[in-house]
Chains A and B, each alone.
Chain A
Amino acid sequence: MTMTERGLGRITGMLFTLLASTGIHPAHAAGASDGQYLTRAADCEVCHTRPGGAPFAGGRAFAIPGMGVIYSPNITADRQAGIGTWTDDQFVKAVRDGVSPGWKHLYPAMPYRDYAYMTPDEVKAIRAYLATLPTSSARPPANTLKFPFSIRAAMIFWNLVNGPTSSHPDDPGHTPSWNRGRYLVEGPGHCAECHSPRTITMGVSASNAYAGADVGGWRAYNITSSKTDGIGAWSADDLATYLSTGHADGHGSASGDMGDVVSHSLRYLTRQDIDAMVEYLRGIPARSSTDGAPLVVDQPTAAHDPADSHGAMLYAGACVGCHLPDGSGRQNPVASIAGARTTLGAANGQNLLQVLTHGSVLQTATGTASMPAFHGGYSDQDVADIANFVMHHFARSSTKVTAVDVAKAKAGSTPE
């Protein structure tokens, strides 16, 4: 740290003390002026970057069953392809109200109802940060939505049905930390967008919030405080470690979209903010779901079911290099699969098949931890055998998957 940075840090610290003493909105106190921090907390980059593309240049496809495909737009400051000509107020209106310049109504794949938790000034800070990044002239493909979903004005009615966006004052009945956690989880973090089931109009279900949902072939698990279906049995420490590093021993590792969330967003949050999120998450009322992860896990045994022998052989050849015969992970904690709900056969083994057929990538403070996809040299039956061996051997799970499930996982759809 240079002298200037240290000086700045001291001034910022003094400012926060000053702000705290004047009783400013606690949920917004920390990092309110830090556009990069908020951009990460809101996880803008993952959705606004196509795989392998320039950051924030858009083009990531969102396939919505029965409706079509939406592509995220370029939000770099490029004046033609991006948002370089927008005013700050136009940017705020797009992010908080879902209406971009020219009264173009955004589809709610953009979580503007969540982002409305952020103040206009916070959204402007994001804009200011985006403006400092390299521009890109990349233009995402046109959306291929079916009629009548192709009519953007229909979103006016969607917004009516799903309630207006609004800012959310702190709840004085809770601690400042809980309020900060609610702001991060419900607002920029937009956790409910994946983890809550959807209503008939594809809105986030309020009555069944955080009870888990299927997203692009993955199961976004129940994250309510249910001890059996949710995260109620996790310690606060485990949950904080999982959120900030993507792994907690005995709970496995984040993969798929959650891996992206940790890699590009959560791992940059302060420990204080992560703890606030944990406090809020652990207070979400328990709701049951069909995720079906067993609570108690037996230790793996040396002997295995003869029915698993082909899967056991393939596991020994393809998997032990990193996961070890006992599943404890050879060298990197991320490779420990003990206790992971994927391994336990939760949600019909859906996420295990996603990991096997699509691989997994996690950015950590010490580099990239990744697992390659296993389908090139392996038949669908081979992959199903590996999955069945893993679930049965490491968790005594009775969940079984078939070659047909593997084919579906490859196609990115949900097994029945």
Chain B
Amino acid sequence: MLTLQINGKSVEVDVDPDTPLLWVLRDVLGMTGTKYGCGIAECGVCTVHVDGSPVRSCSLPVGLIGSQKVITTIEGLQADPVAAAVRKAWLDIDVVQCGYCQPGQIMAAIALLKKIPNPTDEQIEADMSGNLCRCGTYMRIRAAIRNVAAAQGVNP
């Protein structure tokens, strides 16, 4: 039995320690907001936060996380102000096309904006480059992140 801190709750799961976090989230806990993409940490669609940093849950064994670190999934950000700003910015310019990669894009964007409230284009590209989008919405993702920074009143 392993204990994990997920979205503010302490959760006990009966899995092998080498089970990837994504399997625990989706198959054990039924939290399907986080998607499966490549399975080898190359596409970023399964991104969640561990202690605020974006991680690829498909390649992170739960045994490595431990019972103290704080896991946040896309379901756990309902009341988060940065997440609310990102949601609004995404809707304002209609970032999404097919949408499959977007949970990962949004989690990566939130982590970036919490770390750097007003990122330069170069910082956006560096931090978001591990998140692939087969529809090619990259330009709108970058614009939406810029809009969040502007709407929060951070001087460019």
Determine if B59 is an interface residue (Cβ-Cβ < 8 Å).
Answer: yes
Which chain A residues border B60 with CB–CB below 8 Å? 331-332
Q: Decide: A322 near B63, CB < 8 A? Known: A330-B55, A331-B55, A365-B17.
A: no
A367 touches B18 (CB 8 A): yes
Report chain B residues within 8 Å CB of A365: 17, 63
Contact among A316, A320, A325, A367 with B17 in the assembled complex (CB-CB below 8 Å): A367
A372 to B61, CA, bound (A): 18
Instruction: Determine if B63 and A321 form an interchain contact, defined as CB atoms under 8 angstroms apart.
Output: no
Contact with B along A198-231 (1 / 0, CB 8 A): 0000000000000000000000000000000000
Interface code A362-381, partner B: CB below 8 Å = 1, 0 otherwise?
00011110001000000000
| Closest 4 A/B residue pairs (Cβ) | A367-B18, A366-B63, A331-B55, A321-B130
7 A-B pairs within 8 Å (CB atoms) are namely A317-B129, A320-B130, A321-B44, A325-B127, A332-B59, A366-B61, A368-B18
Complex partner residue of A321 from B19, B56, B122, B125, CB under 8 angstroms: B56
The distance in angstroms between the C-alpha atoms of A367 and B56, with both chains bound, is 15
| Cβ contact within 8 Å between B40 and A320 | no
When distances are taken between beta carbons in the complex, the residues of chain B under 8 Å from A372 are 40
Q: Are B61 and A367 in contact (CB under 8 A)?
A: yes
Distance, CA A325 to CA B128, complexed state (A): 10
Count residues on chain B whose CB falls below 8 Å from chain A CBs. 26
Q: Would B61 and A320 count as touching, CB distance under 8 A? A: no
Task: Convert B116-142 into 0s and 1s, putting 1 for each residue whose CB lies closer than 8 angstroms to a CB of A.
Answer: 000000100111011000000000000
Which residues 352-370 in A have Cβ within 8 Å of B in the complex?
A: 365-368
Additional A-B contact list (11), CB under 8 Å, known A316-B125, A320-B126, A330-B41: A316-B126, A317-B129, A320-B130, A321-B56, A325-B126, A330-B53, A331-B55, A366-B17, A366-B61, A367-B61, A372-B40
Residue B64 lies at the interface, judged by CB distance under 8 Å to chain A: yes
Determine if B42 is an interface residue (Cβ-Cβ < 8 Å): yes
When distances are taken between beta carbons in the complex, the residues of chain A under 8 Å from B59 are 322, 331-332
0/1 string, A76-95, CB within 8 A of B gives 1: 00000000000000000000
A/B pair count, beta carbons within 8 Å: 53
Given contacts A321-B41, A366-B17, A367-B63, contact A330 B56 (CB under 8 A): yes
A322 touches B41 (CB 8 A): yes
Determine whether B50 belongs to the interface, using a CB cutoff of 8 Å to chain A: yes
Q: Which residues of B contact A316 (CB under 8 A)?
A: 125-126, 129
Indicate if the CB atoms of B17 and A322 lie closer than 8 Å. Answer: no
Name B's A-contacting residues (CB within 8 A): 17-20, 40-44, 50, 53-56, 59-64, 122, 125-127, 129-130
Q: Within the assembled complex, what's the spacing in Å between the Cα atoms of A372 and B41?
A: 11
Interface code A314-347, partner B: CB below 8 Å = 1, 0 otherwise?
0011001110010000111000000000000000
Closest to B64 in A: A366
Q: Which of A317, A321, A322, A366 contacts B18 (CB 8 A)?
A: A366
Q: Please give, as numbers and ranges, the residues of chain A lying within 8 Å of B54 by CB-CB distance.
A: 330
Give the size category of A's interface with B: 10 to 19
CA distance A64 to B40 in the complex (A): 35
Whether B61 contacts A322 by the Cβ 8 Å rule is no
Find chain B residues with CB under 8 A from A320 CB: 126, 129-130
Contacts of A332 in B (CB 8 A): 59-60, 64
CA A63 to CA B34, docked complex, whole Å = 46
Q: How far is the CB of B64 from chain A (nearest CB, A)?
A: 5
Q: Give Cα A367–Cα B64 distance, bound, in whole angstroms.
A: 9
Distance between Cα atoms of A220 and B60 in the complex (Å): 29
Q: Which residues of A contact B53 (CB under 8 A)?
A: 330-331
**B17, B40, B64 pick with most chain A CB within 10 angstroms:** B64
- Shortest CB–CB separation between residue A87 and chain B, in angstroms? 40
- Chain A residue nearest to B55 (CB atoms) is A331
Residue of B nearest to A325 (CB): B126
B50 to nearest A CB, angstroms? 7
Question: Within the complex, what minimum Cβ distance (angstroms) separates A188 from chain B?
Answer: 27
**Which A residues are in CB contact (< 8 Å) with B126?**
316, 320, 325
A141-176 toward B: CB 8 Å interface, digit per residue (1/0)? 000000000000000000000000000000000000
**A330–B54 CA distance with the chains assembled, in angstroms:** 8
- Highest count of chain A CB atoms <10 Å: which of B56, B63, B130: B130
Question: Which chain A positions have C-beta within 8 A of B56?
Answer: 321-322, 330-331
Question: Residue among A321, A322, A372 with the most chain B CB within 10 A?
Answer: A321
Closest residue to B131 on the A side, CB-wise?
A321
Most buried by B among A302, A332, A368: A332
State the Cβ distance, B43 to closest chain A Cβ, in Å: 8
What is the distance, in angstroms, from A72's C-beta to the closest C-beta of chain B?
Answer: 28
Q: Which of A317, A320, A331 has the most CB of B within 10 A?
A: A331
When chains A and B are docked, how far (Å) is the Cα of A330 from the Cα of B63? 16
Complexed CA–CA distance, A365 and B63 (Å) = 8
Least Cβ distance of A241 to chain B in Å?
15
Residues in A neighbouring B44, C-beta threshold 8 A = 321
Quick one: closest B residue to A317, CB to CB?
B129
Contacts of B64 in A (CB 8 A): 331-332, 366-367
C-alpha gap A252/B61 in the complex (Å): 20
Beta-carbon contact of B63 and A331 below 8 Å: no
CA of A321 to CA of B62, assembled, Å: 19
